[in-house]
Structure 1
Amino acid sequence: MTDTPILRIDSLSTYYGAVQALRSVDMTVRRGEICAVLGANGAGKTTLLRTVSGLQPAAPGSRVLVDGVDITRRPAEAMVRHGVAHVPEGGGVVVELTVEENLRLGGLWRSDRRDRAKALDEMFELFPPLAERRSRPAATLSGGERQMLAIGRALMARPRVLLLDEPSLGLAPLITRQIMQMLHDLRARTGLTVVLVEQNAASALSITDHGFVLSQGAVVAAGSSHELLNDDRMRHAYLGF
């Protein structure tokens, strides 16, 4: 991890009709950092990721920069070319396709076929359960395995920033711990930058470097994960533990 910001968000606002969902959000995420975005349901966490990845339009005056390049109003389908991959809540794997076919979807835009093949081998090395099930339909996977597949498919594009929305949703505590450890190991192995939205704040703060707390679409606290984890007022008021 370095002090160089790879993702910078300035005055990010967005609306759903007349309702303002994000209110001048400022964030800086350093290269190689795992950053937690926390808050109660409806705080704006998912909207933040959707806006950064181009699925939700940003209001005028907002800016999102990746490696210094303004990507604020680039279409969602172009974001992967700018180094941003988004795993939405629930993962969104194609259950009718096999594990390998799902992974190949993540690398389709890359013109270098040899690199695509190399990336596929890397995913099976990173996620051994997927290698064992490469020819099976994704519908046969467990919840944890589907989450691995969703993350692996995003990594096939070799992103610089991975936006990950609620990877523990619906998973048993043991599987949640495994997913969090996997993210920690993935960062250590690849240097990937991760922005992690999580309802399970304690779990997220255990493996992240830095955190932002949202409430009603605005940042109400930011600091190291250690500081947030040990701030009793913040935990009780916004994080629910």
Structure 2
Amino acid sequence: MSDTPILQIENLSTYYGAVQALRSVSLTVQPGEICAVLGANGAGKTTLLRTISGLQPAAPGSRILVNGEDITGAPAESMVRRGLAHVPEGGGVIVDLTVEENLRLGGLWRADRRDRAQALDEVYELFPPLVERRNQPAASLSGGERQMVAIGRALMARPAVLLLDEPSLGLAPLITQQIMRLLHDLRDRTGLTVVLVEQNAASALSITDHGFVLSQGAVVARGSSAELLADDRMRHAYLGF
């Protein structure tokens, strides 16, 4: 792995009106890593991803760098061109469109049609269940299949960093395990960097390299996934298992 972080967050603060949602958060993620962002509901996990991807403004003094480029304050619509893809909580699948129409949306900005077609083939290779459903409306899919579509649509942009918010939300434990294994395999196959926000801490730490724990908008712990799993005090106080 490169010594240069692919994602670097420095003193990141965010406000919703007068309420401070993030408090001087700093973290680094190296290329090819899967990084867990953990914490209870309301800890600031979703706000962190929304701020990185430009959906929520960062407070003055904050810095967000991707591959060394300062993207702080850049418009959200430019982020995919800067190497970021964000899968929000719930996936955001457009239920009135077919599976393939949803997937193609992720690559519309790319001018090279042949590359878009190749990216689509790669997504179908990653998610075989979607092949036979490619012409079905997304409304007909199960929760796990919708999550596959949401992740596949993000991968159509060939991102350097995938920001993934609560992919296990509302899914059965078996489907959650499949999604987690898929993320691990995807990293191993493509070198994709993943920032995974997940309330199911045990599941997330089983496939990540390291993690950060948020509480009330601040980082209260960081370390390798093995270290966080082994820290009984941290697990009981912040991770709920």
TM-score range, shorter chain: over 0.9
TM-score (norm 1): 0.99
Partner of 2:103: 103
Residue 83 of structure 1: aligned partner: 83
Give the counterpart letter for 1:31 in structure 2.
P
Report sequence identity in percent. 85
Counterpart Cα distance in 1 of 2:228 and 2:132: 39
Consecutive unaligned residues of structure 1, counting only runs of 5 or more, are none
Number of the residue aligned with 2:202: 202
Which residue number corresponds to residue 7 of structure 2?
7
2:104 is aligned with what amino acid? R
Q: Distance in 2 between matches of 1:167 and 1:85?
A: 14
Once residues 151 and 94 of structure 1 are traced to their aligned partners in structure 2, the CA distance between those partners, rounded to angstroms, is 13
Task: Specify the alignment match of 2:225 in structure 1.
Answer: 225
Q: How far is the alpha carbon of 1:2 from its aligned partner?
A: 4.0
Q: Which amino acid aligns with 1:61?
A: G
Counterpart-to-counterpart distance in 1, 2:90 and 2:233: 31
- Residue matched to 1:125: 125
Residue identity in the other structure for 1:176: T
Most deviating of 123-132 and 149-158: 123-132
Q: CA deviation at 1:132?
A: 1.6
Deviation at 1:3, TM superposition (A): 3.6
Give a deviation string over 1:140-192, Cα, whole Å, max 9, x none: 11100000000000000000000000000000000000000010011011100
Q: Alpha carbon RMSD of aligned pairs, Å?
A: 0.6
1-structure distance, mates of 2:148, 2:4: 28
Question: Aligned runs of 1:122-201 on 2, under 5 Å?
Answer: 122-201=122-201
Q: Does 1:39 align with 2:39?
A: yes
Give the AA of the match of 1:89.
E
Q: What is the CA-CA distance between 1:209 and the residue it aligns to?
A: 0.1
Matched residue, 1:93: 93
Residue 97 of structure 1 aligns to a residue whose secondary structure is: coil
Deviations 1:185-232 (A, max 9, x none): 110111000000000000000000000000000000000000000100
In structure 2, C-alpha distance between the alignment counterparts of 1:24 and 1:223, rounded to whole Å: 18
- Measured in 2, the distance between the counterparts of 1:2 and 1:84 equals 18
Q: Distance in 1 between matches of 2:23 and 2:102?
A: 36
Quote how far apart the aligned CAs of 1:12 are: 0.3
1:45 is matched by which residue type in structure 2? K
CA distance in 2, matches of 1:42, 1:116: 38
Q: Distance in 2 between matches of 1:177 and 1:200?
A: 11
AA in 1 matched with 2:176: T
Aligned residue for 2:207, secondary structure, equals: coil
Rounded to whole Å, the distance in 1 between the matches of 2:3 and 2:239 is: 27
Distance 1:64 1:231 in 2: 29
CA distance in 1, matches of 2:4, 2:69: 14
Structure 1 segments, 4+ long, off by >6 Å, are none
Matched residue of 2:55: which SS? coil
- Cα distance in 2 for partners of 1:31, 1:188 equals 12
**Structure 2 counterpart SS, 1:5:** coil
